[in-house]
Amino acid sequence: MRFDSALASVGNTPLVLLPRLSPSETVRIWAKLEDRNPTGSVKDRPALYMIEQAEKDGRLTPGCTILEPTSGNTGISLAMAARLKGYRIICVMPENTSAERRQLLAMWGAEIISSPAAGGSNTAVRVARELAEEHPEWVMLYQYGNPDNAGAHYAGTGPEILADLPSVTHFVAGLGTTGTLMGVGRYLREHRPDVEIVAAEPRYDDLVYGLRNLDEGFVPELYDDAVLTGRYSVGSEDAVRRVRQLLDEEGIFAGVSTGAVLHAALGVGRRAVAAGETADIAFVVADGGWKYLSTGIYEAATTEEAVERLQGQLWA
């Protein structure tokens, strides 16, 4: 494969069968390896697409400053694209995200504004909104509400999966901004009306949820529950157990959130087996494990020890 620049090489990632973790020969699980993008995560797709669409409609012009609330990957992708395209970028990030993510952002030239750990990404969104009001000249692409986030997956990820796996019956991904699920979900449903679109969301320990007020929760503007057929909440223990299993049994080194997605995909697979159905289940490996090495979960002797090391951290 040959490309004219690193940016042009975003997407067209491998779809890999998991021969050992698939429950049977007729219920198969396929990993879409999004860590194979230029900065190592699925976020290269929406970041580049949001920037290019904003350039097309004139919201983003040379010399602009980009502002974005991000727990890491989107910021890293935006920072890389911003550097190559000559924009300044400021990321608002919860203070309890991993050291590697901060280093990567700094490496790509992003400026980081930390938001309080309490409230996690919700707080980062609020802080970014306040900054945007103080600096109306800054451009907030705002991944949680920008239709081009889902648009990147409608244009890229969805068609790639259908082309590689025309028999796809289920698509499973992390919820996050909901962009991946909305974009891929809409595309696949247009071509496979019976496809099931399943979300996996991280369930953190109490330290992360803190005293979140039930009346001030946050649902990304992109979210349309009509696109989904199911939604699972996956705790740290299951996520860590699965991400270690993916490494041990299939040789795939993925980030912690992928463990949560795999857990949901395996649950879906188990149901298909129980119902006597055939299934081709595609799930997203959002990033590799590199950025989470400092958590110690990969080399911990037991899953219990690994879970202990993850306490209080935003792992997705």
Partner 1 sequence: MAIEVRIPTILRTHTDGQKVVTGEGKTIEELFADLEVNHPGIRERLVDDGGLRRFVNVYLNDEDVRFLEGIATPVKDGDSVTILPAVAGGMG
Q: Which residues are marked as active site?
A: 43, 257
Q: Which of 47, 90, 112, 125 binds partner 1 (CB under 8 A)?
A: 125
The residues in 130-189 that bind partner 1, with binding defined as CB under 8 A, are: 143-144, 174-177
State the residue for tokens 């990993």. Answer: 31
Beta-sheet pairing, 88-94 with 65-69: parallel
Binding of partner 1 by 262 (CB under 8 A): no
Q: Which of 219, 275, 276, 301 binds partner 1 (CB under 8 A)?
A: 219
- Annotated ligand binding at 73? The verdict is yes
Q: Which of 193, 206, 276, 301 binds partner 1 (CB under 8 A)?
A: 206
Query: Which CB sits closer to partner 1, 53 or 257?
Result: 257
Distance CA 261, CA 238 (A): 10
The residues in 269-308 that bind partner 1, with binding defined as CB under 8 A, are: 286-287
Count of residues engaged in binding partner 1, rule: CB under 8 A: 51
Q: For residues 241-261, b (16+ Cβ closer than 10 Å) or e, as one string?
A: bbbbbbeeebebbbbbbbbbb
- Annotated ligand binding at 302? The verdict is no
- Annotated ligand binding at 257? The verdict is yes
Within 10 angstroms of residue 5's Cβ, the number of other Cβ atoms is 9
Which class for 231: exposed (0-12), middle (13-18), buried (19 or more C-beta within 10 A)? middle
Binding of partner 1 by 213 (CB under 8 A): yes
What string marks each residue from 3 to 32 as x (binds partner 1 by CB under 8 A) or -? ------------------------------
Asked if 55 and 298 touch (Cβ cutoff 8 Å), the reply is no
Stretch that binds partner 1, among 23-31, 49-57, 78-86, 215-223 (CB under 8 A): 215-223
Binding of partner 1 by 215 (CB under 8 A): yes
Stretch that binds partner 1, among 48-56, 130-138, 196-204, 240-248 (CB under 8 A): 196-204
In the complex, the smallest distance separating the C-beta of residue 16 from partner 1, rounded to whole angstroms, is 19
Query: Which CB sits closer to partner 1, 48 or 316?
Result: 316
| Contact residues for partner 1, defined by CB under 8 A | 41-43, 69-74, 120-122, 125, 143-144, 174-177, 201-203, 206, 209-220, 225, 228-235, 255, 257, 267, 286-287, 314, 316
Binding site feature residues for pyridoxal 5'-phosphate: 73, 176-180, 257
Q: Which residues are annotated as a binding site?
A: 73, 176-180, 257
